[in-house]
Amino acid sequence: DTEVTQTPKHLVMGMTNKKSLKCEQHMGHRAMYWYKQKAKKPPELMFVYSYEKLSINESVPSRFSPECPNSSLLNLHLHALQPEDSALYLCASSQARDWTEAFFGQGTRLTVV
Amino acid sequence: QKEVEQDPGPLSVPEGAIVSLNCTYSNSAFQYFMWYRQYSRKGPELLMYTYSSGNKEDGRFTAQVDKSSKYISLFIRDSQPSDSATYLCAMSANTDKLIFGTGTRLQVFP
């Protein structure tokens, strides 16, 4: 099983809403990642969790708040987003902090209105 | 200069052709090299993973890494219309960061 599951698949939210994106993997991977991808652009790294601890925050605005409740789950809490935050949000996981094979979920397509 | 350079295409080929996709990079510390396929509005799918230099083959796909030239390639044999997608190269220097190329859009027409 090389599956990373993300929910929801689509999300429309207003600028005053609070919502959460969820990511789950059962491959025993101890590194999990959030990426943001705009149309026709490569994925951009947002956060890295290694052994459930935040190890990298790529200067992401505080309206994005990651959480790693356990080794299988990763959340991204959203609050007071802007329309320019509309994008495909991708979760990925890999075996350890070293980049071995990294697997991506199908993403959550977020639209901020 | 970007760390990873990739021709955005689009690359249009007839069904059955051999496709060559390439990336160049500047960071000699990169050791892990990956190719992802991404269909429109979907997440990237890992196709090939290579550590350090050499070749790796999986079915119709062959990945090559030439660290001396800082150049990686993905070859697709007997290309099919279902191979039409964006192909992203990605690489890492034994850290948490995976650096992506901009992606090459491939179209295989029947």
Cβ separation of B44 and A106 shorter than 8 Å? no
Cβ separation of A106 and B42 shorter than 8 Å? yes
Smallest Cα distance from A66 to chain B, Å = 16
Q: Does A101 touch chain B (CB under 8 A)?
A: yes
What pLDDT does residue A33 have? 94
Residues A42-53: tens digit of each pLDDT: 999 999 998 999
Residues A5-10, mean pLDDT to the nearest whole number? 97
* A83 φ/ψ angles, rounded to the nearest 5 degrees: -55, -30
Above pLDDT 70, what percent of chain B?
97
Q: Hey, which bits of chain B come out as E strands? A: 4-6, 11-14, 19-25, 32-38, 45-51, 54-58, 61-66, 71-76, 85-92, 99-100, 104-109
Contacts of B102 in chain A (CB under 8 A): 41-42
Residues A69-106: tens digit of each pLDDT: 999 999 999 999 999 999 999 999 988 655 567 899 99
Residues B74-89, mean pLDDT to the nearest whole number? 97
Q: Name the CA dihedral angle for A52, A56, A58, A62, rounded to a multiple of 10 degrees.
A: 40
